[in-house]
A and B are shown apart, each in its own frame.
Chain A
């Protein structure tokens, strides 16, 4: 974590859905993280942990009624700090697309099927950069070229269904970077894609972050993607961050039993075969409310009676970068012998120790 002021500082974000006559649902329950220039911050968790709702809240895309959003999200702009959660819809519209951009999971349903790609890309240029006619078209072609779409002039005239899945996701990324946003939110950008295409898209995102200095919030369920891309990682469970750390300490010494469980659940390509996986018991539905205790306790192997005495506090380790929300964490010595397996090299990296 650098000494510079963060680009976006999210503090105690909470989103509560409440319907008349039904119990309210705390989808996000006090999540804090920061985004910094040229860095990738990851939000990891399984379905229902509140990661997508977090992104929608930041972009101001939640419906106006039936939702209570709390906390603050301070965006650092040249003209001063603004709180994204308190902006007027009109001001938010100006920021969305120009300063904040979002890449959604399903590229087919986030593109308009009856409008050519070209018009969808120039629309943004038109709205935020005031470009018209052939200038906008040329810029759109440049953008498509930049995200690796061959033959951009032809593609601009085509409709979303004529593009392959990977190409659609590239077009969406082109639209997201059209105004050189300071903050980009990618919500599961590669989940709908094949692995070889996923590798291409991740490489593209990595380049954009290093070249443009954009801050990227990467939302995913795939710890493998996180390991390759993210600088700082927040593991979410039932709406709260249960572990926060830079990626190297997180993968070397996962501390929260949930993180340990997630890592134990993934079959690894480079691990010796035949070792049984160590899954987490039960399902995401087996949790208790955070104010009664740790929501993960019903599925936890490290669970003690202390876990049920109120919400566990966020504990910071001595080095100050690693934090976890657990009263009975997994000691590093316990995981050292199973998490850091001597892995055979993946396709020709024998010179690793050089």
Chain B
């Protein structure tokens, strides 16, 4: 059974107008019907451009934003229906690593206190009940503190920092170290699932690689499950077992990481992959690039039918602008795609139209 299952999740933010009477004049359809499941011990990568709803989806899993409808099932319990207090307790098993490592650490709290806070909130650590029975109150408190210290130091060491960091403050660390502290804060509670929202996008290239390797090592040692949310397809593909591509609030394609790269089926995935720069002049000069026309439409007023049809170079006259495609399995090996014409595009029956793309750069031969 999968560790986390998201079923038809919707998060709509109301747009309010008016001073005296609070009217709702519309909704931003940030996440609009996403279903996916994450297996224990694996990494699910969620990729998409800004405004596609990937961050909102991650926050909705932790109920940091209100869920409009749908279910988030963790170990047989629907998180969407829990009360606030029950949800607070549940967050012990679901932790998050945020994008901006400086913004997500309290500048006035030292590292020890930041890492200890989660343990205190959830009452983790301390002697077992039998041991505690023979202790006085003071002894018990000392034992709890010692145990929490041990856990915090352990988590810090796992992410490659020493116990000396405990008494220091966030501004004393470099960006990469701060992100390590963010990871340690999630680790110290020993969660099942860690949601990493753009874990490396604020970091320099050489530091990025250190943090990505660290995440991978931790997964190997502790059997963690990750939901990695990022805009960089190369990063997501590197860390994930399964990749989901989001566009304007819905998943357009989901596949095992290697398969997605070898045979991208959805037109959006294909143009996204062709836009990612590869640090190799030979590849850059020879590959085909599909440049999309225009920008992402407003999620407050999404296009009818297929959300991508306004920018899709493969767009057909029928179905695309009237029927919203379902995410459906293709080839039966875990590859799912939301496109009416996926098979025909794959078979080469439909060609991208030069008029609908801003430009298609054909790879120069040789």
The residues of A with any CB-CB pair to B shorter than 8 Å are 46-47, 148, 150, 164-167, 194-200, 202-203, 221-228, 247-248, 251, 261-270, 273, 276-280, 283-285, 343-349, 351-354
Contact = CB atoms under 8 A, between A and B. Distances in A.
Interface string B296-316: 100000000000000000000
A285 B278 contact: no
- The 9 A-B pairs of least Cβ separation, nearest first, read A224-B277, A279-B209, A267-B238, A265-B209, A199-B275, A228-B284, A194-B49, A280-B206, A277-B209
Contacts of B231: 194-195
A223 B206 CA distance: 12
Contacts of B279: 223-224, 226-227, 251, 263, 266, 268
Given A164-B295, A248-B281, A283-B176, A269 B234 contact: yes
Given A269-B276, A279-B210, A283-B175, 18 more contacts: A195-B233, A196-B49, A198-B275, A200-B358, A227-B279, A228-B278, A261-B206, A265-B208, A273-B258, A273-B261, A279-B209, A283-B174, A283-B204, A283-B207, A285-B174, A346-B287, A348-B287, A352-B363
Contacts of A265: 205-206, 208-209
B264 interface: yes
Contacts of B290: 347
A60 to B, nearest CB: 28
Contacts of B210: 279
A105 to B, nearest CB: 14
A285 B176 CA distance: 11
Interface in B282-340: 282-292, 294-296
Contacts of A278: 209
A217 B210 CA distance: 30
B129 interface: no
Given A227-B277, A269-B278, A346-B273, A352 B286 contact: yes
B22 interface: no
Interface string B333-366: 0000000000000000000000000110101011
A353 B286 CA distance: 10
Nearest to B241: A273
B288 A348 contact: yes
Contacts of A196: 49, 271-272, 275, 291-292
A280 B277 CA distance: 21
Nearest to B294: A150
B274 A354 contact: no
B262 interface: yes
A155 to B, nearest CB: 13
Which of B177, B284, B290 neighbours the largest number of chain A CB atoms within 10 Å of its CB?
A: B284
B68 interface: no
B246 to A, nearest CB: 12
Contact of A347 (B49, B216, B288, B292): B288
Nearest to B49: A194
A265 B212 CA distance: 10
Nearest to A195: B275
Interface of B: 49-50, 174-177, 204-210, 212-213, 216, 231-235, 237-239, 257-258, 261-262, 264, 270-292, 294-296, 358-359, 361, 363, 365-366
Which of A263, A284, A345, A347 neighbours the largest number of chain B CB atoms within 10 Å of its CB?
A: A347
Given A195-B275, A221-B205, A279-B206, A344 B280 contact: no
Q: Specify the main secondary structure of chain B where it touches its partner.
A: helix
Contacts of A353: 366
Contacts of B205: 46, 221-223, 262, 265-266
A280 B232 CA distance: 20
A251 to B, nearest CB: 5
A349 B233 contact: no
Nearest to A265: B209
A167 B293 CA distance: 12
B283 A270 contact: yes
A224 B275 contact: no
A343 to B, nearest CB: 6
A283 to B, nearest CB: 5
A228 B277 contact: yes
A237 to B, nearest CB: 10
Contacts of A273: 237-238, 257-258, 261
A345 B287 contact: yes
23 contacts: A148-B358, A164-B295, A194-B49, A195-B272, A198-B277, A199-B291, A203-B361, A224-B284, A227-B283, A228-B285, A262-B205, A273-B238, A276-B213, A278-B209, A284-B174, A343-B278, A344-B261, A345-B287, A347-B287, A347-B290, A349-B283, A349-B286, A354-B366
Nearest to B205: A265
A277 B212 contact: yes
Contacts of A347: 264, 270, 273-274, 287-288, 290
A349 B288 contact: yes
Contacts of A226: 279
A279 B180 CA distance: 15
Contacts of B209: 264-267, 277-280
Contacts of B288: 346-349
A102 B261 CA distance: 37
Which of B49, B262, B278, B290 neighbours the largest number of chain A CB atoms within 10 Å of its CB?
A: B278
Contacts of B366: 352-354
Contacts of B207: 279, 283
Given A266-B209, A347-B274, A354-B365, A227 B287 contact: no
